[in-house]
Structure 1
């Protein structure tokens, strides 16, 4: 992020002016500054600013809750930059996700499988009537923002386009199948399917499901191109456009790459645009620390070199969103997640929600039980660091102390990139095209279930978690584009993998590459047709998956050189039948079939492990060492939970980032390439804490 020619680390907090009285703006923004933030972000809800007669008030003429102009002026008076988020969709627990009721004319609301209306207030993003309404909204809000952009001396430094596009259709399994969308798909696909075949596909329609998801990805890209063109036509230029990605759930990031998969075509390679994470992981522990690490790595894998990582909704507060005390996130989680994201090169963090407020009434009651702008009740953001009435909760001082430390390294962190070990994690965006499954298609449901359990971080998440907790720092690489790397390529594969990706992997190994493949050796393409390009290149014949059950306990024994000392129970395994010379390093205890083999193919090598071997860190470190990769940084901790990585600037200023996500106090000696750092002095890392140490 370059501001006035200088790399900058932007630390922001979300404050909703439309949920606060004018008299409270100053105190909330002063608290933001005191916490160490230099920017404020806010949604600008169309629902709030449009009046019943269709006119739009952005200056507070009709209500102080609509005084966007006044809020921007107060922010500027505090020296705060502004990240504007004008929708059209904003979500934020608002009715209609922030759209005014007037938008929902016939043909705008989304229709899904079997012609059933969407259960949410989703729309056909490319409906002509919807786009005309968007033009009217952007025609009002964008000129105002343009007049207050940073290049013109104003506070607005970035503009977010829409919000969490595709999220509603994913979480409800409702692809947009309106008349216009189905006609669009028919033209896009060469009219290979009838309307009925698209809306109500016959069982086993894997090809249609895949193409429909790819089509929706392309459609979202057209929608964002429209929004950007409209914004620019009203003078919004010279500041970045941002796209907010969705996908975390139940405190995990396993599904987060769905948002990347849906939207990367909209921003990848687009100048002056980048994506931002939207994550709600709760606490950060040994269970999910790799989730956040991989989320950032997968985001970067589809970015161009000039597209920095950002986080547009960085979870802040204590997590009691339902106000039922069913969840409480320790304040230390905020510190740990901040440290990890900054170490991975995030240049903008927006703490969401920083300050709570109140939901004002709608202008015209609709009889929905509360007649307010949001469905959360009168008070909103009761778990935020600054509560609805301005009270500070325990997450506020943790945020302030964390940002104070970051500021002390600010100029360095703003221009630092993470350093990596000799390992890269493979990312297959199409492995996350699982948002749609016709309710009557059991074949598609089985395919989705297999993709969900095998992809990305590996069965039981063991691959990525083991890499990170064993000390490896690693990027990710998009395998759906042509790639080249000298690093060991690690891939958690599923039985489904497209032929072109399999061919790239086969060529990679034959050309001298090193591959660690875990999970399943692919046997079919996304359309369900048999595809064993990779298996054939490795001279392996994969068998059928053997799944554990309450009465069957598949078990594996690995060779001693892997550090294995006993057989282990696994949840699933896939027997391998080698057709050439291989070294077997793991076998099914019951059938003696290989499930782990080392293959020499062409000029390269592959370790193929087709089971969910447990997270025995020495085992995984040994496999990587077999392929010639070792972590630069090691430590003497006796309990898992230490994460180490380093960053460097173009001038060579290096920092070591050390996190202890475990509940155990640890004092460790850290080594680099086997040589103890800091003259061998122990580094104290209390439970759930972190440090930045100059190298």
Structure 2
């Protein structure tokens, strides 16, 4: 029997931090005869855990009974599948809904739930019916139906928990909560929800305050519901703000109800998971919308954590910062015990429609894997790992194919293992990635990313934009403005420049009190809308001697439209004009002092500033400053109110001005290198080097101004990465540094993978060292192994 705990942002199994390398295999889409093959494929790929949805729609029969043991169909034998996974040496993560999505009809909810309770399908803006098969999550009838489903499925899972000697190490509650309403801009506005929101608003603002913000009396149900469904323009910003905040609380209560149901029906002693949606179109710019919706559902909840859904396609200079920032923003909403996990880690070739409109290169999986583990993801679930076939519904519904899903008979066309069990090119890439991670899994499972003394500011309320009434011009303008400036900055330049400029950094949730170990420098992509609470925290940060890089327009109002200039007033700077690029005007800027460059630089916009700060950038046409340096007591701020391009030298100089020093430095001229490092509690380190550029990059590397590898230059081919160990114990010896990757180690030997035309491995030891090839040079207690390898075959070094 095993104990599974979330501690110190780690997954601790039987007292030892561990990584869970998962693959999603849907037993219900495979014949029993294929189960063992797919599970073996997962093990061969380097996985140690299988994940699966459990579709309520499939397991509930026409007579209302539930089959989870295969008495009516072998593909309903959840118990048998989990038992087989256990026999094959795999752990399991189970995802029993009630919603599962996965292209299953009704998102996995049985048809009879809608037929018996048609009012569960919500109305939305202007009283219109909602366009998706979502439900009012807190409707008593739905909670009762979901509890009845849990009463059947959870005991089957509970019998197979790790604490009872089984394979199950985690259980996911529901799936992508709130996603359907967001992507269709269709908030649930049933009568019951409107009445509940009235109680929430009165508790928060009082009766008069609620009336003023929504424009209707909360004790008049009909008038109140009408005002919510068709907002008056005067109340629009306040109403949308309250609607989003209320939905966060509603999702929190829904997750709490599901957890209570799961525990009542026996699932206790393993972590619970809530997955966060939001990527789309190969980008992560909207992923924080999902965080904003759900962070109150998991934040600070014991033995529960979030899991990301990452669908980013390829990883290039375009979107590498998306992935990095998504991980950082998610971590910023976690408590001290909650680790990062990824419950849907895109692993296939991207041909989801079988139309060949896209094929992702195989190396994308490897690059994304390497970056996620470097940032502390303790669980990665390759989704979808194996395809299958959609069986017919137990009872025909006359919808054209009468199968459980709308993808036809075959499902998972793009997966590394296709529906017929054939491997595509992404299988080998996934195997390379997982085996590379497995060689240093103990260092990653107990390691934390090291940072450079700055944090990217995260404002969840900047992403409280999932709803906008179509007729509200004020709300439409606010959402457009926030989408332009928030998060990663205008044109994503702020985050991209930090990451490709060689910095590694966490995020800090600016709507929560700062952690004790908060970095001294905050970089924030600002917008005209910024909450008073956040402005006040930034003011306190500056007055306490902190430093701030503010990129974007000066904040001037709160989210409900109330004027708020706390931050600008403290900075002593005001907005004094706006220059926007267009058909007849092309704003350009020139730098002053440390920001001076060889030529003027065109920008998309420039907000002109007035105040006592030192000008840094001047808009050419007007001759007015659009960037300033300002002292606030012992604190200091750089205000860059223009979308300055991603000139890495400029942004490095800005951070240098604020006292940020990169601990890892390279001298490559080409952009595309991402550098970070992790260190475990014993001081063992991994250097994570990724090249997301389309060409090879050669460079020298320094750590805290000390040349690494005796100044030898490294070459990383296009679209590959390295994890180089440093100060890693090998028995009584220490692997001080090497240009090889670590494949395995024991007390007496180490297996290394060469990566360069000439590699070195430096050991500190008083034992005799033998290498199966190459040259061994001994200098006192320092032993250097040098190898020249064309095929990069593994190198075995033994200690005798």
For 2:341 and 2:583, how far apart are their aligned partners in 1?
44
Match of residue 37 from structure 2: 27
Q: What's the CA shift for 1:563?
A: 5.0
Task: Give 3-state SS (helix, strand or coil) of 1:317's partner.
Answer: coil
Aligned partners of 1:377, 1:564: CA distance in 2, in Å?
58
- In structure 1, the residue corresponding to 2:383 is in which secondary structure? strand
TM-score by length of 2: 0.86
Partner of 2:708: 677
Matched, 1:460 2:491: yes
SS at match of 2:477: helix
2:748 corresponds to = none
Pair 1:162–1:400, CA change in 2 (3 A) = same
Q: Counterpart of 1:200?
A: 230
**For 1:186, which of 185, 189, 198 is the aligned residue?**
198
Give the SS at the match of 1:157.
Answer: strand
User: Corresponding residue for 2:264?
Assistant: 233
* Distance in 2 (alpha carbons) for counterparts of 1:169 and 1:106: 17
* Partner Cα distance (1:592, 1:48) in 2: 68
Which 10-residue stretch deviates more, 542-551 or 283-292? 542-551
Correspondence 1:2 to 2:12:
yes
1:262 corresponding residue in structure 2: 293
Within-5 A mapping of 1:505-654: 505-559=538-592, 561-562=594-595, 564-578=597-611, 580=612, 582-654=613-685
Are 2:162 and 2:169, in contact at CA under 8 Å, matched by a contact in 1? yes
Q: Are the equivalent residues in 2 in contact too, given 1:107–1:127 (CA < 8 A)?
A: no
Match status 1:691 vs 2:701: no
Is residue 2:374 matched to residue 1:362?
Answer: no
Superposed, 1:317-328 pairs within 5 Å as 317-328=348-359
How far apart are 1:57 and its partner, in Å? 0.6
Poorly superposed stretches of 4+, deviation over 4 Å: none
**What are the superposed Cα offsets for residues 318-353 of structure 1, whole Å, 9 maximum, x if unpaired?**
000111000110000000000000000000000000
Superposed CA deviations along residues 339-394 of structure 1, whole A, max 9, x for unmatched, are 00000000000000000000111122222222111111111001100000000001
Judge conservation of contact 2:577–2:609 (CA < 8 Å) in 1: no
Confirm whether residue 496 of structure 1 aligns to residue 508 of structure 2.
Answer: no
Cα separation, 2, equivalents of 1:638 and 1:322: 40
Which of residues 43, 49, 55 is equivalent to 1:39? 49
1:143 aligns with 2:155: yes
Residues 590 and 596, structure 2, Cα contact 8 Å, conserved in 1: no
Residue deviations 1:461-500 (CA, integer Å, cap 9, x gap): 0000000001000000000012263421100011101111
Secondary structure of the residue that 1:575 maps to in structure 2?
strand
1:389-408 alignment runs, 5 A limit: 389-408=420-439
Contact 2:299 / 2:333 at 8 angstroms: preserved in 1? yes
Residue number among 69, 76, 82 corresponding to 1:59 in the alignment: 69
Aligned to 1:171: 183
Note the 1:212-291 alignment, pairs <5 A. 212-291=243-322
* Structure with greater contact order relative to length (CA < 8 Å, sep ≥ 6): 1
Identify the structure with the greater strand proportion.
2
- What TM-score results when the alignment is normalised by the length of structure 1? 0.99
Distance 2:63 2:619 in 1: 71
1:394-433 to structure 2, matched below 5 A, reads 394-433=425-464
Mind listing any 5+ residue stretches in structure 1 that lack a counterpart?
none
Shift of 1:668: 1.4
Range moving further from structure 2, 59-68 or 152-161 = 59-68
Question: Partner of 2:93 in structure 1?
Answer: 83
Q: What SS is found at the alignment partner of 2:413?
A: coil
Whole-angstrom CA distance in 1 between matches of 2:690 and 2:342: 20
Counterpart CA distance in 1 for 2:503 and 2:141 is 51
Contact 1:523/1:542 (<8 A) preserved: no
Higher-Rg member (1/2): 2
Query: How large is the Cα RMSD of the aligned pairs?
Result: 1.0
Provide Cα deviations, 1:223-267, integer angstroms capped at 9, x if missing partner: 000000000111111100001100001000000000000000000
Aligned residues: 693
Query: Structure 1, residues 500-531: CA drift from partner, whole Å, max 9, x if none?
Result: 11111111112211000001110111111211
Cα distance in 2 for partners of 1:49, 1:294 equals 39
Q: Distance in 1 between matches of 2:577 and 2:655?
A: 27
Distance in 2, matches of 1:453 and 1:40, equals 40
Question: Tell me, what secondary structure is at the counterpart of 1:189?
Answer: helix
In 2, distance between residues paired with 1:114 and 1:570? 41
Tell me if the contact between 2:502 and 2:665 (Cα under 8 Å) persists in the aligned partners: yes
Q: Which of the residues 11, 22, 26 maps onto 1:16?
A: 26
The separation in 1 between residues aligned to 2:576 and 2:398, in whole angstroms, is: 59
Query: How far off its partner does 1:636 sit?
Result: 1.8
Residue 118 of structure 2 aligns to a residue whose secondary structure is coil
Distance 2:579 2:543 in 1: 29
Residue 55 of structure 1 deviates from its aligned partner by: 1.0
In the alignment, which residue of structure 2 is the partner of 1:345? 376
- SS class of match (1:111): coil
TM-superposed deviation, 1:618: 0.3
Q: What is the CA–CA distance in structure 1 between the aligned matches of 2:44 and 2:351, rounded to whole Å?
A: 24
The alpha carbon displacement at 1:106 in A equals 2.6
User: CA offset at residue 560 of structure 1?
Assistant: 5.2
CA distance in 2, matches of 1:326, 1:664: 24
Q: Name 2:119's counterpart in structure 1.
A: 107
Q: 8 Å contact 1:496–1:523 — kept in the other structure? A: yes
Note if 1:475 corresponds to 2:506.
yes
Partners of 1:155 and 1:451 in 2: how far apart?
45
Taking the aligned partners of 1:544 and 1:237, their CA distance within structure 2 comes to 59
Does the CA-based 8 Å contact 2:55-2:100 persist in structure 1? yes
What secondary structure, in the 3-state scheme, does the structure 1 residue paired with 2:702 have?
Answer: strand
Q: Distance in 2 between matches of 1:325 and 1:572?
A: 38
Structure 2 residue corresponding to 1:132, chosen from 144, 153, 158:
144
CA distance in 1, matches of 2:388, 2:75: 11
SS in structure 2 of the partner of residue 107 of structure 1:
helix
CA contact (8 A) 2:85 2:92 kept: yes
1:310 is paired with a residue of what secondary structure? strand
CA apart distance, 1:575: 1.2
* Residue pair 1:466, 1:616 contacting (<8 A) in 2 also: yes
- How far did residue 552 of structure 1 move? 2.2
Distance 1:638 1:297 in 2: 27
2:119 match: secondary structure: coil
Q: Distance in 2 between matches of 1:555 and 1:613?
A: 9
SS at match of 1:249: coil
Q: Counterparts of 2:579 and 2:534 in 1: how far apart (Å)?
A: 25
1:165 & 1:73 partners in 2: Cα distance? Answer: 29
Residues 82 and 92, structure 2, Cα contact 8 Å, conserved in 1? yes
1:537 and 1:601 in contact (8 A); partners too = yes
Q: In the alignment, is the contact (CA less than 8 A) between 2:329 and 2:508 conserved in 1?
A: yes
The answer on whether the counterparts of 1:563 and 1:618 sit within 8 Å (CA) in structure 2 is: no
Structure 1 residue 544: deviation in Å? Answer: 4.8
